[in-house]
Chain A
């Protein structure tokens, strides 16, 4: 994976010195909260309901064991012994003291991490396929391109004060595991005319109050012109995007208002100038960055593994975990293992410091020192030998990390909601917990198959409710928590926004209502038909009926 060069080190240490001074001036009163707020946000520091919150970037979700161990250390020393993985593949700490922030950021820099641009109206952490470099579906590893975008967008002077935040995701396969069409810009690596790397570009996606699915703006931008093209999009947005109304300031509103064709013309106009400027990615620089992401030295192994096959037969719990949480790998004899952060009744995305230590050790020993954060708020060990999976599972199991529910109905995405967040209208976590307890039976979950349930505690949609196969949105009705349910959303290459089924429900009715919808699915599905495909075939009506049956 990428290692900082002298410029990265200098940039991060200069920023720590700058922010340390800003914290000092805030504490001694030379900076007011109004003056300090935009400065702390640029460094990932929020002031939430109960405390400051620090969001640390995990660039494109890739970490080594030293980094994850450090994240655990910070949780233990400066927080309450845990951290929360987010849908931007970042990690949040809920309880840091203001005065500890310089020390935390200094410790993070020791392992080449920081919190720059994890908030504010700038280009945020770039996300990608959690199986990048491991899946056999990709054209090439998308992470070198993510790293190039990271370097280009970090403290970019022209794009540090955008109308609103800006999120980019990159994939390299037809299968979209990074929800690129819900992003301000989504990039899909394709083969260009001459076989070279090119980018299919989507623009204007976004969730929140006015959700939009991104539209294609270009079919194949040549790789070396990627930064020029991105600059053209950002420049058009920066010049034309609204700044008068925070709810209409995202690029999705601009693209929808102009129409994709007019927006494309504007981008092409900018691109005509920019493509001749000094924004072409030099060949040697691309090669230098790609070298960091060279595949690890996989052993030549047979496709099947005796120890793995024997463990499957010997232990039904291991077999179930393998069935649900293990994914195919490009190298024979290897697999990727999903570490669910969704135990029954747990907080989606939460992980204790001790658990981080455990996974860091597993990554070092069994996965070429790599671990990934998935936007679904899980972790992944990307490169594990099939031979080693039984031992990996036993260790995970001993530490509450082997819940066999990846992509099943209890693998719920949920934002922190009103338990922590100052923007929330309602709690998300207890609703997710109630659902996970009610549907805990894994036989039933496997019978249901893959179902994405996403929950947000407010319309800002950090819990991606619009694109859940089943979405749950917390709303405030005269000081009481209620929940609106949507059906038929999808985050993938067939991205769609869910349809609101009807009036909102009180918290205690949500899990039973979802269970009725799931039972309706079992009753009406065709042979082998996934939940989302049944919804696409029938529309929301059967599920609407089931949800309101008892109400």
Chain B
């Protein structure tokens, strides 16, 4: 299966294609798409340039990125694994 992802135009944050064609920031809420659905979602996302920048498809297995770029896609879905951007340590320094 696949999910559709992109960056949000206004702030660049990672987006996924969710239920009813609504964008979600959570990979867990992304719709799992078969090939035909994925192509339709890509076309729909391309028609929403006010929201989706550079939409593309990511292979998933049980909701987790599984393709060649799975680790990169994992980090895109969670945010940086270290450093000041992590909410658990933000402002700690």
> Given the complex of chains A and B, what is the CA–CA distance between A50 and B91 in angstroms?
19
Shortest C-beta distance, A160 to chain B (Å), equals 25
Shortest C-beta distance, B54 to chain A (Å), equals 6
Tally of B interface residues using CB under 8 Å:
29
**Interface readout for B52-93 with A: 1 if CB under 8 Å, 0 if not?**
011000000000000111111001100111111100001101
Name the residue of chain B whose CB is nearest to the CB of A345: B82
Question: When the two chains form their complex, are residues B83 and A350 in contact, meaning their CB atoms are under 8 A apart?
Answer: yes
Q: Which of A43-85 contact B (CB under 8 A)?
A: 47-52, 80-82
A121 interfacial contact with B, CB 8 Å: no
> Given the complex of chains A and B, what is the CA–CA distance between A277 and B81 in angstroms?
55
Q: Which of A342-357 contact B (CB under 8 A)?
A: 346-347, 350, 352, 355
Residues of B within 8 A of A481 (CB): 71
Cross-chain contact of A347 among B9, B14, B70, B82 (Cβ < 8 A): B82
Given A49-B14, A51-B13, A97-B11: A350 in contact with B71 (beta carbons within 8 A): no
B10 interfacial contact with A, CB 8 Å: yes
**Interface readout for A411-426 with B: 1 if CB under 8 Å, 0 if not?**
0000000111000100
Most central of A94, A347, A476, A479 by chain B CB within 10 Å: A479
B7 interfacial contact with A, CB 8 Å: yes
Cross-chain contact of A98 among B12, B14, B82 (Cβ < 8 A): B12
Cross-chain contact of B90 among A52, A81, A97, A419 (Cβ < 8 A): A81
Cross-chain contact of B93 among A355, A424, A430, A479 (Cβ < 8 A): A355
Residues of B within 8 A of A352 (CB): 84, 93
Residues of A within 8 A of B71 (CB): 418, 476, 479-481
Question: When the two chains form their complex, are residues B93 and A82 in contact, meaning their CB atoms are under 8 A apart?
Answer: yes
A466 interfacial contact with B, CB 8 Å: no
B49 interfacial contact with A, CB 8 Å: yes
Given A50-B76, A419-B80: A80 in contact with B90 (beta carbons within 8 A): yes
Question: When the two chains form their complex, are residues B9 and A98 in contact, meaning their CB atoms are under 8 A apart?
Answer: yes
**Which of A26-34, A195-203, A283-291, A526-534 participates in binding chain B?**
A26-34
Name the residue of chain B whose CB is nearest to the CB of A400: B93
Residues of A within 8 A of B72 (CB): 49, 418, 424
A99 interfacial contact with B, CB 8 Å: yes
A-B contact count (CB 8 A): 91
Given A33-B54, A47-B12, A51-B12: A419 in contact with B83 (beta carbons within 8 A): yes
Decide if the interface of chain B is mainly helix, strand, loop or mixed: loop
Shortest C-beta distance, B71 to chain A (Å), equals 6
Question: When the two chains form their complex, are residues B82 and A80 in contact, meaning their CB atoms are under 8 A apart?
Answer: no
**Interface readout for A360-387 with B: 1 if CB under 8 Å, 0 if not?**
0000000000000000000000000000
> Given the complex of chains A and B, what is the CA–CA distance between A48 and B91 in angstroms?
22
Given A80-B85, A418-B71: A47 in contact with B93 (beta carbons within 8 A): no
Given A32-B49, A81-B90, A418-B71: A95 in contact with B85 (beta carbons within 8 A): yes
> Given the complex of chains A and B, what is the CA–CA distance between A480 and B9 in angstroms?
30
A127 interfacial contact with B, CB 8 Å: no
A433 interfacial contact with B, CB 8 Å: yes
A179 interfacial contact with B, CB 8 Å: no
Question: When the two chains form their complex, are residues A479 and B70 in contact, meaning their CB atoms are under 8 A apart?
Answer: yes
> Given the complex of chains A and B, what is the CA–CA distance between A350 and B68 in angstroms?
30
Q: Which of A442-489 contact B (CB under 8 A)?
A: 476, 478-481
> Given the complex of chains A and B, what is the CA–CA distance between A373 and B15 in angstroms?
35
> Given the complex of chains A and B, what is the CA–CA distance between A51 and B13 in angstroms?
5
Question: When the two chains form their complex, are residues B84 and A350 in contact, meaning their CB atoms are under 8 A apart?
Answer: yes
> Given the complex of chains A and B, what is the CA–CA distance between A124 and B31 in angstroms?
43
Name the residue of chain B whose CB is nearest to the CB of A80: B85
Shortest C-beta distance, A372 to chain B (Å), equals 22
Shortest C-beta distance, A53 to chain B (Å), equals 8
Given A81-B84, A94-B85, A430-B82: A52 in contact with B12 (beta carbons within 8 A): yes
Question: When the two chains form their complex, are residues B81 and A430 in contact, meaning their CB atoms are under 8 A apart?
Answer: yes
Cross-chain contact of A50 among B9, B10, B14 (Cβ < 8 A): B14
Cross-chain contact of B69 among A27, A29, A97, A479 (Cβ < 8 A): A479
A178 interfacial contact with B, CB 8 Å: no
A181 interfacial contact with B, CB 8 Å: no
Residues of A within 8 A of B79 (CB): 50
A12 interfacial contact with B, CB 8 Å: no
Most central of B7, B67, B85 by chain A CB within 10 Å: B85
Residues of A within 8 A of B11 (CB): 51-52, 95, 97-99
Name the residue of chain A whose CB is nearest to the CB of B7: A47
A427 interfacial contact with B, CB 8 Å: yes
Given A49-B76, A419-B80: A27 in contact with B85 (beta carbons within 8 A): no
> Given the complex of chains A and B, what is the CA–CA distance between A114 and B71 in angstroms?
34
> Given the complex of chains A and B, what is the CA–CA distance between A350 and B71 in angstroms?
24
Contacts A98-B9, A355-B93 known; 15 new A-B pairs at CB < 8 A: A27-B9, A27-B10, A49-B75, A49-B76, A50-B79, A50-B80, A51-B13, A80-B90, A97-B11, A98-B10, A99-B11, A350-B93, A419-B75, A478-B68, A479-B70
| A positions within 8 Å CB-CB of B | 26-27, 29, 32-33, 47-52, 80-82, 94-95, 97-99, 346-347, 350, 352, 355, 400, 418-420, 424, 427, 429-430, 433, 476, 478-481
Ranked nearest first, the 5 interchain pairs of A and B with the lowest CB-CB distance are A419-B80, A51-B12, A97-B11, A52-B12, A82-B84
7 pairs, CB–CB < 8 Å, chain A vs chain B: A47-B53, A50-B79, A51-B11, A81-B84, A81-B91, A82-B93, A347-B84
